[in-house]
Structure 1
């Protein structure tokens, strides 16, 4: 009987009903976003897995043991094996260097694999005795499309198809030789693999996320020296950066909805406790102790938590189903089902926000005297209440960090909330100080101004709610429009989709002329050489001294060093001096910031590379961020042009080819410059563009829930002053004020609040956009002057409309009834 009784009391009590509805809507908005973002995030991770053809890849120099396959099978995981090695084939008595990729019948475990054959398109690995060729290999062979016999060692293979799409092509983007794909079981018959062979084995794993993670930990303790575990996070930098940016956009959208929902709960809880004070005084008058009264209200809040949490999480799950039905086709097929994490997140938020932000005010109940029945004052908060506020704020901050799992983004948003509180307090008092001389004006305008200055604390509470709502709503609107457009614009329609590598110095000038003749734009030629880092600050580099697996892998391989007197336009210096070598003619390196962090490199560090037996040493001039997903020619380590004078360097460039003339240009290039290798990255480019488009659509859909949360904040902020406003209107009407005077007063009050909140919200949103665009997304955002017009105009219009609706309901109530209730 307790539950029906509580539901009835909730329906009868406006304060409790508002709190219940606020909690339900807040948890619904939060969990709808969390459920949907969880599904979209899983989809993005799966897309990242598709870029590696698996969820987990182990690279090493020896064949993976059978024990690995057996252990994975025991965990319900699928596995596949690859072998990659260089070889030379002869065609028409001419030698041709190729990159052989041997795959088994399970390939690929993730992603799309398409091969054009005589029988049509197939998605299966090459059968035994057959091979698939890359387009560049077919061009090099100058052969008909298929049915060409080629020798691989002592084995004869028939080229039966052309690889059109390959999921893990990005893993070997800058291989210099065209690729030949064969069956893994045919490798032994070639006689090419010996203990001294330079080969790379890959062990691919795919399956449920939890099982893959357990397999990762199991493998990590058994990896031989030189082996590396690869996941989505250490995929090619172009893909990793696109995935990270897409995830951050979604997390930012979810965080905006979460913060707005929390604000709504906080305002509603304050209203509930404020309206409960009279009841507390009556209970004290009837002889109830302080602890009994406090326990009664804690029990009420607990029931609100359970019911609001249950209904909110349930409605949130249904909400994401509706959202998926509306926009699920945007994501190209079925989204993975959501996990249980949003359920725990919803209840955790409900508990922290409801308990944390109502407990500090509930503790003040202990100080409510029975005289409260006659007097309306309340003792100020004591130390325990302030301590409860601090604990609640701390736990809330930790919960936000846990939700987004990105401490930089979470910290930025929490600092934004702190800045809003500080700005509203300071600017709110300035507003009250400015309005004080005008409160004596005759008429509705003066009465409206007086309402704002009469109770500064109440005015500040409303300013906090309105400003927070406008700020986060405008911020997400900026992200939804400006930042997403900038991100998508960073990869234009004619972004480079082919790389030309192994360009010899003697061919550089003639190739520029060849580009002009063919009408092809290029990104400029950059000298490059392969080098291994052998010394850091004069000390020999030993990969085994590094605990980080990525650092060990980087130090075990050669870097593609770039040489030029200028940086790419999408590079930004984040530490150190400007790049001015063309004037100074001084040797120095510029290092990509993420690589520098991994290896412990700082501006001023001295790096020594072994380049074909020659030692190349110079200091690090600066660190820079790189827009890898722009697909321009970029390098982890770049030196100035003067450093390559005595080095065996070749050149690299990137170009855009239209689909209509790609085949012609490729054949012409192979004829005129046979030593130049052309790499087709259209498939990878399309994947990155897909990630961008889907990330933008996800933010669009999440924006709806943030809008609902903002409306809830507005209503909650209005409700906290409803009792005082009702009393003021009742007194005015008792003194003979007409409806026009009351309307002018209320619209002045709400109009000033909307105008000022809109100005503060637009300013804070613009400042935050500049910060997160630069620090979190690596983008350069412009200043949108229309933001202030939208913020101030929209804020004024919305609050004037809300004020009009509130006024209508209050004018419909008898003044005598309002005054008697006081």
Structure 2
């Protein structure tokens, strides 16, 4: 019986628009979360796939020795595509010339991601291919052609084998970012390794295995593989690479994650406010039902069924609208980026449906319980039930729900905490401001005929409702300001890291007598270049006379010295300089004195993260082992280095009195354009020992990530703007009936239409300006923390948004709010009374 009545009431209330608010709120929650999570996931997948080109696969396994064939066969069982690589050095011989080349032997499946760039001749145009050389042929980098004085089609000896030179190797997707092999690279077919006879017991070789597949397949395979890995084997993805590319990818994903969190926060606020408004509008019908004999159980079942129906319907509509919205956004991004976006999968569908369901349940529970407690006497005394106490337990549960949903979506507790705490801060400040403002407004009095006085009086009358509206408006404005400023800062930071004039070519293996002709060449050809830095390799062997722990031999039964400090295993490139490089900043200590050349004490400036790992302090003396030579240097400063600039940088810089003590080569970087290609080729012919490393592809990839994230941010901003507008519309729509009553009363008392319209406009301007000011201040402080904690950039305050916030808030809120109530104010008094009845 009650089910039939419930459906009748549901149908009538739906036609009358009584369920519009809560329906719109749930649909808003679902479509916001779906569209944001879907588009950000698709962009994130696209960025990851593009970035995977730079390791020629989705994952790679590196090993110093061959691994069991079961490892690759098992990968095929998991549905993964695989390829094998082998790296070794070997001599090449042709035309009485002998040179050591860096050989990479590949199977035909290589590369699994990305493409190889080759040329049919030194003067031909480059093009891309998806497989390596066939058996019996070999591809050489351009420098080897000049050193060996060969052309495409000639024969070359590699080890004991003779191969046909079939292509000029221009670029490999997984070429090392910096390698001393430079332009002495060789690409060989994997099946020809035995022909070279270069691999003998004890040979220094390096194995790499590539994998391509879906993320779940890779994760499952790694779970099987991990227990089998040795300590000298490493499983890597693009995020594991310590490079500007990997760092920018991580920043991009963090930004897209923030965008999704903003959508959840906005949706939760909309749902909480709308559910309360809807239930308040049902106080009179519930009182009438109880007067006519309706039991609490029947009333509860009716409204729970209403909530269930509207929840299911709104989730379905939200998913459909969200899908259309993200499809339109994805199509736009595809047209701009010129690349297909991968499908997002089922996560956005499940996540948005779950969030819509949880929001409907958690944020409607307390308002529904209040609704069931409405006394029947309300039919006689209309104010009964209006002052139901706010449950602290419900508030705590609601906040906990929002926090849990944000954490579920992000998976990062720090990010969630920063945004959640800043939001609570906004709420607390706005409640305090609203109380002070509305209390202070009473002392101003109501001056007849003043629109401002009428606006302030209206704000005072709806103090509690306006406090909630202030919070909703402020959160929407806060999220918009947050995204706008963060976009500007992060994108500007990335563009500064990779500026337009960034070098795109490293020049290495330069002898001292070759510096002058190279500089003359660069000047004559108008090629921007960096200084030539003396470079040598050295290992930090001791600190203040105490040797670091050395590597022990288990074969000989040596035991590790547990008391010795751990040092750095690798030998970094070191240099000496008289002036501090542009992208370096002294954070402690002082740079070398001008007269340091006259001193016998060598000084050293150390990068900050080496200070921490070696436990260094100013004044310490470190022992550097260069070949067999021992160099002692005093630590006089610590530096912060921006490695992402792609300019030459060093972990340790020594003072200039180091010059002449160790043999060095020289190293520089230049910005080479397409028109310089022929000139550079002629230069390499004259100086065949010089190597040039092309890093243009790395720069292009970094710039591609920046462009994609910039476009994505624009899309996210539009979604947040639409969501904020919908929250505002639902807030204003909930108060339309009350506003109709006020208009009728004011007109009855003789108020003119212009007075009422201006008072309404001023009311929204005040609400928007206050909300915008608080949102701007809290956003700026939160941004300061976020930039330092999540993006590892220097946080800074943006005082211009302290003006932009109130201004944009006043315009945004007043425009939408006034538009919503303008139709009501244009109706005559008789029409309004008819609607109210």
What is the TM-score of this pair, normalised by structure 2? Answer: 0.86
Contact 1:566–1:579 (Cα < 8 Å) also in 2: no
Contact 2:251–2:791 (Cα < 8 Å) also in 1: yes
Separation in 2 of the partners of 1:606 and 1:7?
82
Mapping of 1:638-657 within 5 angstroms?
A: 638-641=652-655, 646-657=661-672
Separation in 1 of the partners of 2:733 and 2:313?
22
Partner of 2:675: 660
Change (3 A) 1:543 1:795: farther
Q: Is the deviation greater in 773-782 or in 165-174?
A: 773-782
Identify which of 484, 493, 501 aligns with 1:477: 484
- 2:643 pairs with 1:634: no
Q: Is the deviation greater in 411-420 or in 122-131?
A: 411-420
What is the RMSD computed on CA atoms of the aligned residues?
3.7
Identify which of 39, 44, 47 aligns with 2:42: 39
Change (3 A) 1:96 1:246: same
Partner of 1:129: 136
Contact 1:466–1:717 (Cα < 8 Å) also in 2: no
Separation in 2 of the partners of 1:762 and 1:569?
34
Q: Is the deviation greater in 427-436 or in 616-625?
A: 616-625
Separation in 1 of the partners of 2:726 and 2:780?
23
Change (3 A) 1:819 1:759: farther
- 2:747 pairs with 1:741: no
Identify which of 577, 588, 591 aligns with 1:577: 588
Q: CA deviation at 1:282?
A: 3.6
1:331-361: CA deviation from partner (whole Å, max 9, x where unpaired): 3332222211111210222133333333343
Separation in 2 of the partners of 1:268 and 1:600?
57
Q: Is the deviation greater in 70-79 or in 401-410?
A: 401-410
Separation in 1 of the partners of 2:88 and 2:327?
48
Separation in 2 of the partners of 1:804 and 1:771?
36
Change (3 A) 1:4 1:116: farther
Change (3 A) 1:716 1:820: closer
Contact 2:94–2:155 (Cα < 8 Å) also in 1: no
Partner of 2:163: 157
Identify which of 64, 78, 83 aligns with 2:67: 64
Separation in 1 of the partners of 2:813 and 2:749?
27
Partner of 2:269: 263
Identify which of 720, 725, 730 aligns with 2:739: 725
Q: Is the deviation greater in 461-470 or in 730-739?
A: 730-739
Q: CA deviation at 1:207?
A: 1.3
Change (3 A) 1:566 1:381: farther
Mapping of 1:265-664 within 5 angstroms?
A: 265-286=271-292, 293-294=299-300, 296-365=302-371, 367-373=373-379, 374-376=381-383, 378=385, 385-443=391-449, 444-481=451-488, 483-504=490-511, 515-532=522-539, 540=549, 557-561=570-574, 564=577, 568-570=581-583, 577=588, 580-582=591-593, 587=603, 590-591=606-607, 593=609, 610-613=625-628, 627-635=642-650, 637-641=651-655, 646-664=661-679
Separation in 1 of the partners of 2:639 and 2:370?
54
Partner of 2:697: 683
Contact 1:267–1:720 (Cα < 8 Å) also in 2: no
Separation in 2 of the partners of 1:428 and 1:349?
30
1:674-723: CA deviation from partner (whole Å, max 9, x where unpaired): 54321111122222222221222222233322221111122123234434
Change (3 A) 1:808 1:681: closer
Identify which of 206, 211, 229 aligns with 2:217: 211
Change (3 A) 1:602 1:413: farther
Mapping of 1:735-814 within 5 angstroms?
A: 735-779=749-793, 787=801, 790-811=804-825, 812=827, 814=829
Q: Is the deviation greater in 262-271 or in 99-108?
A: 262-271
Change (3 A) 1:311 1:160: same
Change (3 A) 1:10 1:74: farther
- 2:248 pairs with 1:234: no
Separation in 2 of the partners of 1:39 and 1:626?
33
Separation in 1 of the partners of 2:608 and 2:422?
29
- 2:100 pairs with 1:102: no
Contact 1:55–1:207 (Cα < 8 Å) also in 2: yes
Q: CA deviation at 1:228?
A: 0.8
Contact 1:133–1:162 (Cα < 8 Å) also in 2: yes
Mapping of 1:1-12 within 5 angstroms?
A: 8-12=11-15
Partner of 2:53: 50
Contact 1:52–1:235 (Cα < 8 Å) also in 2: no
Separation in 1 of the partners of 2:113 and 2:186?
20
Q: Is the deviation greater in 610-619 or in 799-808?
A: 610-619
Contact 1:543–1:555 (Cα < 8 Å) also in 2: no
Aligned residue pairs total 807
Q: CA deviation at 1:404?
A: 3.2
Q: Is the deviation greater in 663-672 or in 707-716?
A: 663-672
Change (3 A) 1:353 1:226: same
Contact 1:588–1:621 (Cα < 8 Å) also in 2: yes
Q: Is the deviation greater in 765-774 or in 493-502?
A: 765-774
Partner of 1:713: 727
Contact 2:334–2:340 (Cα < 8 Å) also in 1: yes
1:78-130: CA deviation from partner (whole Å, max 9, x where unpaired): 11000111222234433322211111111111112232226984432101111
Separation in 1 of the partners of 2:636 and 2:744?
72
Change (3 A) 1:428 1:71: same
Partner of 1:548: none
Q: CA deviation at 1:263?
A: 2.3
Q: Is the deviation greater in 62-71 or in 402-411?
A: 402-411
Partner of 2:194: 188
Contact 1:483–1:781 (Cα < 8 Å) also in 2: no
Contact 1:58–1:229 (Cα < 8 Å) also in 2: yes
Separation in 2 of the partners of 1:775 and 1:419?
19
Contact 2:18–2:278 (Cα < 8 Å) also in 1: yes
Q: Structure 2: where are the runs of 5+ without partners?
A: 555-565
Change (3 A) 1:336 1:810: same
Separation in 2 of the partners of 1:727 and 1:600?
74
Partner of 2:562: none
1:150-199: CA deviation from partner (whole Å, max 9, x where unpaired): 21111112221112332111466554462111111111111111121111
What is the TM-score of this pair, normalised by structure 1? Answer: 0.88
Q: CA deviation at 1:728?
A: 2.2
Q: Is the deviation greater in 610-619 or in 187-196?
A: 610-619
Q: CA deviation at 1:235?
A: 2.3
Separation in 1 of the partners of 2:623 and 2:347?
47
Change (3 A) 1:163 1:695: farther
